[in-house]
């Protein structure tokens, strides 16, 4: 008995050592494997659905690839050039505004009474210099706007290599999708019999809750972006495409997302030739989009929701933002939801499967 335990410990340490060596050996391409796995995971339901119509798995993967390539071509030739032009125009526009000393004054926003009150306060308290504060704020805002394209490029270059994305990731995705069932059998084949049924049950629960949630949020983001773009076009708001993409990308951020995404819209209306009354129409448009999202899209796509208390969600978003910035704001809730799902399944099922 003691000898068996020793053998198990030795085998366990050897397996751990091999795993560590494998991670160190493949660490340079771990990011590509992770990205390939995520893309394959998101595409997998389409491939599985196509199999119901007796379409060969390899052929359905190629069809999906052709659709994705077509969307990428449209993105490169139509959408990205428009975003670039609109971002450059917005940068020049805000630079000109900052040069105007009255641009960020309260009077320019129709708050003349408040401006007069502050002026009286400044005469009494000379250390208060609101004009200087607004000027600095405006310069920082324009600096942040101009830095966005460079930040995006730096982030992408740090994660992706264009050649790797073009060649390695599609090939890895193809084989992950084509041999999905075989890979799953191999993975579960390594699991000891005692934990086999529990592992399958845990995987099914994660797929049923977290997997559906992740794909639904992606689809919800696309639909909200399209609805916002249509609304901004109807209202004649400048930079509609760029603004709608910002609204869509910030929408998954619980509680704060709709407000964060709408701030650039208000700023563009206030500082552009568009009549200020458009702020009211834009707010109404945003409310309509959010009502469609809250009452139709989210319930039909995500279903019963997260099953998390609103206060828990709020604290998770704040903590994620402090720890990891914008990515933390977006991914904190899904990550905690995944952990919650795993803990709940383990707490309710370990005894059921006689593991403890």
- This prediction has a pTM of 0.65
Whether 280 is in a domain gets the answer: yes
Q: Does 268 lie in the same domain as 146?
A: no
Whether 300 is in a domain gets the answer: yes
- Half-sphere exposure for 1 (CA within 13 Å, toward CB): 0
pLDDT for the residue numbered 127: 55
List, in order, residues 6 or more apart from 254 with CB less than 8 Å away.
Answer: 313, 314, 316, 317, 333
- Say which residue the tokens 């609204």 belong to: 247
pLDDT for the residue numbered 284: 92
Q: What is the dihedral of CA 321, 212, 227, 82, to 10 degrees?
A: 70
Q: How far apart are CA 334 and CA 9, in angstroms?
A: 36
Whether 109 is in a domain gets the answer: yes
Contacts 24+ apart (CB under 8 A), 13-17: none
Domain boundary among 159, 188, 222: 159
Whether 55 is in a domain gets the answer: no
Q: Does 148 lie in the same domain as 242?
A: no
Q: Does 213 lie in the same domain as 139?
A: no
Domain boundary among 101, 136, 159: 159
Q: Does 300 lie in the same domain as 241?
A: yes
And the tokens for 170?
């599609």
Domain boundary among 133, 159, 185: 159
Whether 70 is in a domain gets the answer: no
Q: How far apart are CA 160 and CA 294, in angstroms?
A: 34
pLDDT for the residue numbered 225: 92
**C-alpha distance from residue 98 to each of 103, 108, 112 (Å):** 6, 13, 20
Whether 153 is in a domain gets the answer: yes
Whether 299 is in a domain gets the answer: yes
Q: Does 209 lie in the same domain as 329?
A: yes
Report the Cα–Cα distance between both ends of the chain, in Å, rounded: 21
Q: pLDDT digits over 205-241, tens only? A: 777 777 777 778 888 888 999 999 999 999 988 888 8
Whether 180 is in a domain gets the answer: no
Q: Does 153 lie in the same domain as 219?
A: no
And the tokens for 215?
């794909």
State how many domains the chain has. Answer: 2
Tens place of pLDDT per residue across the chain (356 aa): 566 667 667 766 787 777 778 777 766 677 777 778 888 888 888 888 888 888 888 888 898 889 888 888 887 777 777 777 776 676 666 666 555 555 555 455 555 555 565 566 556 555 555 556 666 666 666 666 555 555 555 555 544 555 666 778 888 888 888 888 888 888 877 877 777 788 888 888 777 777 777 778 888 888 999 999 999 999 988 888 888 988 988 888 877 788 888 888 888 887 777 787 888 899 999 899 988 887 887 777 765 556 667 777 778 878 887 877 777 777 787 788 888 888 887 777 777 766 66
Q: How far apart are CA 355 and CA 317, in angstroms?
A: 35
Residue range(s) defining the domain that contains residue 244 = 198-356
Nearest-CA neighbor of 236 among 268, 193, 198, 188?
268
Q: Does 220 lie in the same domain as 93?
A: no
Burial class of residue 115 in the structure, from the number of CB atoms within 10 Å of its CB (0-12 exposed, 13-18 middle, 19+ buried): middle
């Amino acid at each position: 008995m003691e000898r068996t335990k020793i053998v198990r410990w030795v085998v366990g340490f050897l397996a751990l050592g091999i795993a560590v060596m494998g991670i160190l050996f493949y660490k340079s391409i771990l990011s590509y494997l992770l990205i390939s796995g995520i893309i394959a995971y998101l595409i997998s339901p389409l491939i599985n659905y196509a199999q119901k119509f007796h379409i060969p798995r390899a052929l359905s993967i190629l069809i999906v690839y052709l659709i994705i390539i077509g969307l990428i071509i449209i993105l490169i030739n139509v959408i990205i050039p428009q975003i670039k032009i609109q971002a450059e125009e917005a940068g020049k526009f805000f630079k000109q505004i900052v040069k105007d000393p009255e641009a960020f004054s309260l009077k320019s926003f129709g708050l003349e009474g408040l401006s007069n009150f502050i002026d009286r306060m400044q005469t009494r308290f000379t250390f208060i210099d609101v004009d200087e504060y607004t000027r600095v704020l405006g310069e920082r805002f324009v600096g942040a706007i101009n830095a966005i394209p460079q930040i995006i490029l730096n982030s992408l270059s740090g994660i992706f290599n264009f050649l790797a994305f073009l060649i390695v990731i599609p090939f890895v995705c193809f084989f992950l999708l084509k041999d999905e069932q075989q890979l799953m059998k191999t993975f579960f084949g390594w699991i000891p019999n005692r934990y086999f049924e529990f592992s399958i049950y845990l995987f099914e629960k994660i797929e049923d809750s977290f997997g559906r949630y992740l794909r639904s949020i992606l689809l919800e983001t696309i639909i909200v972006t399209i609805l916002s773009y249509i609304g901004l076009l109807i209202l004649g708001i400048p930079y509609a495409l760029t603004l709608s993409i910002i609204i869509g990308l910030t929408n998954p951020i619980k509680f704060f997302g709709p407000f964060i995404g709408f701030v650039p819209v208000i700023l563009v209306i206030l500082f552009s030739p568009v009549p200020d009354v458009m702020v009211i129409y834009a707010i109404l448009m945003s409310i309509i989009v959010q009502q469609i999202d809250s009452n139709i899209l989210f319930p039909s796509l995500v279903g019963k929701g997260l099953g998390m208390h609103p206060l828990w969600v709020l604290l998770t978003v704040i903590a994620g933002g402090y720890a990891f910035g914008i990515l933390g704001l977006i991914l904190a809730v899904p990550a905690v939801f995944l952990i919650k799902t795993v803990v709940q399944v383990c707490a309710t099922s370990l005894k059921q499967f006689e593991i403890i």
